[in-house]
Structure 1
């Protein structure tokens, strides 16, 4: 149980600190605040779960969002992590394009409730 890792990518925040919930669910938690840091961490770790915020930025030239680089990294290292995405409802249409290319375990819309995060984590334990 101890070797189960969860990577939490918190770039914007604005929701409860779920670290205690992650730990109660049996995960060792790594928190990073940028996709670059997440990518560096993923070179050395194989998390069971990745929790990441989704946001779109018109400055992105070759992608829709911050999430694609992270998901591409998971794919490159052949990591089977379950991805939980935290997203503002206004970006749900954009996320559909991402979902066509990358598997997502759960999508939670703001405001994010502890109960919905807990349900997403329990869904992983039921599967795995």
Structure 2
């Protein structure tokens, strides 16, 4: 069964919807003949109750809230690398050694921190008015 079919079955079932997520079943995937249990967490898309995205993990003992929090932290890291590569040209550097790479990374991280601080201050100013 694919994810869309599973979601449709869950919507028509009597499983209760939680506050921070919709459903969290444990399913089994087969990869190269080996069965792997995975916990799926269906989370609604902000502002669009009819749409959701699915988070998946092989750590089936985790609570759905912990999975959501971990993916949220991971998403912040992905956003950092997107900004670092697209706007701060981190991937364009042609460095020769480890020390140069560390220096380049430090400059990119400092630039990102300054930009993030400026954005937060801008939003704090807008929120006051």
Query: TM-score, structure 1 length as denominator?
Result: 0.21
* Structure with bigger RCO (C-alpha 8 Å, 6+ apart): 1
